[in-house]
A = this chain, B = another copy of it.
Amino acid sequence: MQSSIPNSILGYQRVPDSDSVYVDPAKLTRFCSDVFQSLHVPESEAIIAADVLVQADLRGVDSHGVAHMNLDSFYLSGLLEGSINPQPKPAIRHETPSTALMDGDNGMGLIVGYHAMADAIARAEHVGSGWVAVHNTHHYGMAAYFAMMALPHNMIGISMTNAGPQMIPTFGSQPMIGTNPIAIAVPAHKEPDFVLDMATTVVAGGKFEIASRLGLQIPDSWGQDSSGRPTTDPNVANAARRYMPLGIDRTNGSHKGYGLGASVDILTGVLSSAGPSFLLPKGYCGHFFGAIRVDGFSTVEDFKDRMDQFLIGLKNTPPEQGHDRVYVAGEIEHEVKLVRSRHGIPLDQEVIERLRKISGRFEIPYEIELG
């Protein structure tokens, strides 16, 4: 089962390409915000949307950052075509003290997700936890962004979204469920916070795209060609949109990846009435957000100290031969952010070209590169 696929795809030892261009995170955020404002997004909301994207790049989650600032991609094409509302007024349609259904008013998920998670946090302040399901919304970027909004409030944050069908159910021959990610963020004390953000497929769609850009083969356990045969060609799997559930096959637990993906579909699509992956109108999504106050169970100080003890214990696991450390979820992204905050975000030439094109199209100065 070991594979020689480079770490740059797996993402745990990220090395920028030699021809990457380093950009300034603050200037990049300003640039993206200006683009959204050109498309009639109000300034306060445009800053939020830009921050969701740039935080993904800062954390090394390049598949969910400004690579999507593309005239052909969902955010900008949706705003340009008028299929996405640039000025959504998300509204609560149904609620209890700790739960709510939010109508995203056809806005970008980047903005709707922010308001929905803020609502979950406000409910948690009042009654200990808050849970918000969202319909009438779109692609929301990096799932972890919203879960992490809970951290400064000393809450555990949860974020999920569904998307069009890409996962093949166990024993099935057709994709029925999205890559349906789950993110959970938990505050620690001196240690970096625990942040898990995982697709419920073996790998997220972005891994196929990166392998494709780099011209590399993929393991045949990741996806299928359009006939349902395993493939090592990332372009073939990506074109077919046929990804395996976490676990790969029944013998190794694919029914668990499939079951988790279905659970995300229930919380994001069925509970919200957005629709599960296989019934979603094209381009739409459902989201689900949660916030739980850690002081709903013990004091914040005691909890965070126990978290540190837990995380340090895991990191101190003796590594297996060939590896020099054991990581905890979110640790690599935390380290990448420290480096990129200081030295800038490396963007590859293709992404730089897209941003230059957008700069010309909206007459926004291209002033993002580090001097």
Contacts and interface: CB of A to CB of B under 8 A. Distances in A.
A302 B101 CA distance: 13
Contacts of A5: 251
A1 B194 contact: no
A305 B37 CA distance: 41
Given A94-B298, A128-B97, A171 B325 contact: yes
Contacts of A302: 273
A296 B96 contact: yes
A314 interface: yes
A32 interface: no
A129 B246 contact: no
A307 interface: yes
Given A262-B196, A329-B259, A10 B323 contact: no
Interface stretch (A64-72, A172-180, A334-342, A356-364): A172-180
A209 interface: no
A297 B320 contact: no
Given A196-B260, A318-B173, A131 B296 contact: yes
A239 to B, nearest CB: 19
Contacts of A129: 96, 98-99, 129, 131
Contacts of A255: 12, 198, 327, 329
B247 A317 contact: no
A97 B168 CA distance: 40
Interface string A284-306: 00000000111111100011001
B174 A318 contact: yes
Contact of A262 (B156, B279, B295, B314): B314
B171 A320 contact: yes
Interface stretch (A21-29, A43-51, A264-272, A345-353): A264-272
A317 B173 CA distance: 7
Contacts of A259: 196, 198, 329
Interface in A142-197: 156, 168-174, 176-177, 184, 186, 194, 196
Contacts of A87: none
Contacts of A169: 314, 317, 326
A248 B1 contact: yes
A365 interface: no
Nearest to A175: B317
Contacts of A156: 266-267, 271
Given A94-B297, A99-B297, 12 more contacts: A1-B248, A97-B128, A127-B127, A173-B317, A176-B313, A194-B266, A196-B263, A203-B253, A221-B251, A248-B252, A262-B310, A272-B297
28 contacts: A1-B251, A2-B249, A94-B296, A96-B129, A98-B127, A99-B293, A99-B297, A129-B129, A169-B314, A169-B326, A173-B320, A174-B318, A176-B314, A177-B314, A186-B270, A194-B262, A194-B266, A196-B259, A198-B256, A228-B320, A263-B329, A266-B310, A271-B297, A271-B303, A273-B298, A273-B302, A276-B310, A278-B313
Interface of A: 1-3, 5, 10, 12, 94-101, 127-129, 131, 133, 156, 168-174, 176-177, 184, 186, 194, 196, 198, 202-203, 219, 221-222, 228, 246-253, 255-257, 259-260, 262-263, 265-267, 269-273, 276, 278-279, 292-298, 302-303, 306-307, 309-310, 313-314, 317-321, 323, 325-329
